[in-house]
Structure 1
Amino acid sequence: MGIYDIFLSNSGPAVHMQAQCCAAYERHLARYVNTPMTLLQLGIREGGALQMWKKWLGPNARIVGIDGDPGCARHADEQIIVRTGNGSEAKFLREVVAELGSIDVVIDDGSHQMIDMIASFDFLYERISPNGVYLIQAAHTAYLPSYGGGLNESGTIIQRFKDLLDELHANHVHNNALRPTSFTKSTLSMTAYESILVFEKAIAPNRHFIRTGGY
């Protein structure tokens, strides 16, 4: 069963999600279905999304939820781990990463505040697996002042995405005006949907130009 069908047929704890998220999840995360993997979600709410991941990804998946509300611990079960803390605080995240050992997918569905989104990304992206995926939900909050956003405002996750798009192409910038970084070297692709940002990593992405055919 696809994740959209699971989402629509949900009769358990509530899942808050824009419908277009399902297409993004299917496109970028389907390879993890029924494989041993770890998914970390920032933000739990009623816990419905954790159960959705469990059903879709299968019995080999380890689902981890982080939330500042201690009451969210009730959503833990034999396949779901819940940790209470600030998902944008480096000290807490370092402890979680040390405990888990490996993280394949991060889904940021936390506070949606710009300062938190960026802090979480800055810490976790370089620490997920070399072939991992990092998804940010509710990226539209980058345009809302109540979340620290605004059109063309500096310090938003959208502006950070634009800057990282340059960084992804740093190998092609002349005169060393922008030097390749660890992000350049480890990132395969960046995808923007309405309200969803996706970063995919790869081990030594093949960026060589190759000519075949011709005379």
Structure 2
Amino acid sequence: MKNTASFAAYKKSPNRSIKHSTYFETYDELFGRYRGKPITFVEIGVLGGGSLFMWREFFGEQARIIGIDLNPNAKKWEKDGFEIFIGSQSDEAFWQEVKQAVGPMDVVLDDGGHTYEQQIVTTEMLLDNIKDGGMLVVEDTHTSYMPGFGPKKYSFMRYVAQIMDRMHYRFSKISGPTDNRVWSVQVFESIVAFHINRDASNRVSAVTDNGGAHDNAVDFRHADNSAYGRLSRVYRESDALKKIPGVRPLALFVKDILSRAKGSGRVSRFFR
């Protein structure tokens, strides 16, 4: 922690800021590449203003540092060269106004109220406004496991899991609701980062072949002698069977049942 650039900037801030000790390595990992560059950085939740000075020190004078807070008192930091917007992060109309005024953002750090509604509405409203190569970072995500921040059914981490599911549905052989806004999700203790790369996240998934020499190696995924393995081999090796209408979905259905029976006893102990 103490050897990180973000912690040094944190300690140098002339105003009070409160950060968890585990966050600084994560800050350096996520934000290090933006240092010394003319980025637009938005922090939600500026409280006593200390973090605004921290981020100016960390990113450098070229960075445009913007603060979002519900407390009108935060407007006083404009005299120090920061842009400040006052409003609720759970208010979609407020975010429309901010996006109109600020334009595309490189990095957003949500350190606001930490309720599920606030975190989810903020993410939904800002993902499309993040520049390519940028990110939206939500911290204090441990509130998803604490009482008092909203109904657990709609916790932020459940929302993150849904986005990850929809990212995987982009795979060409899976059908389901997709989400192309996010290229990757990076999870740290109490911090989630959504990375934006629109070309990559909208690319069609297709099998490629590098054209190299082929030694006709046997695919050993189906080599075991279980009922699942035997069924997989029969279907894979029978061209006639594949031509029968309705056989493929039936085979997949049976394989799914057998694979559950085969694997549940071995892996169930890891789901506690």
Q: TM-score range by the shorter chain?
A: 0.7 to 0.9
2:89 is the counterpart of 1:87: yes
Q: Name the structure 2 match of 1:194.
A: 189
Q: CA deviation at 1:194?
A: 1.0
1:15 partner amino acid: S
For residues 145 and 129 of structure 1, do their structure 2 counterparts lie closer, same or farther at Cα, with a shift above 3 Å needed? same
> What is the aligned partner in structure 2 of residue 180 from structure 1?
178
Runs of 4+ in structure 1 deviating by more than 4 angstroms, as ranges, are: 206-214
- Distance (Å, rounded) in 1 between the aligned partners of 2:77 and 2:127: 25
- Counterpart of 1:43 (choices 42, 45, 58) is 45
Question: Taking every aligned residue pair, what percent have the same amino acid on both sides?
Answer: 25
Q: Is the 8 A contact 1:167 1:180 kept in 2?
A: yes
Q: CA RMSD in A?
A: 2.0
Deviation at 1:11, TM superposition (A): 5.3
Aligned residues: 207
Give the letter aligned to residue 94 of structure 1.
Q
- 2:8 paired residue number: 5
Q: Deviations over 1:25-84 (max 9, x none)?
A: 211211211111111111111111111110110111011111111111112245411111
Question: Which amino acid in the other structure matches residue 116 of structure 1?
Answer: Q
Uncovered stretches (5+) of structure 2, i.e. residues with no partner: 214-272
Q: Higher helix fraction: Structure 1 or Structure 2?
A: 2
In structure 2, the CA distance between the partners of 1:130 and 1:208, relative to structure 1 (3 Å rule), is farther
Give the aligned partner of residue 161 of structure 2. 162
TM-score between the two structures when normalised by the length of structure 1? 0.88
Contact preservation (8 Å) 1:61, 1:79: no
Measured against aligned partners, the alpha-carbon deviations of 1:105-149 in whole angstroms (never above 9, x if no partner) come to 111111111111111111111222122211111000111111125
Scaled by the length of structure 2, what TM-score is found?
Answer: 0.70
SS in 2 for 1:199: strand
Structure scoring higher RCO (CA < 8 A, sep ≥ 6) equals 1
Secondary structure at 1:82 match in 2: strand
Supply the distance in 1 between the matched residues of 2:62 and 2:208 (Cα, whole angstroms).
39
Work out the CA distance in 2 between the residues paired with 1:100 and 1:144. Answer: 33
Partner AA of 1:140 in structure 2: H
What is the CA–CA distance in structure 1 between the aligned matches of 2:58 and 2:208, rounded to whole Å?
38
Gaps of 5+ in 1: none
Residue correspondence of structure 1 range 37-116 to structure 2 within 5 A = 37-116=39-118
Indicate the structure (1 or 2) with the bigger Cα radius of gyration.
Answer: 2
Report Cα offsets for 1:147-196 as digits up to 9, x if no partner: 125xxx311100011111111111226452x143332xxx2211111111
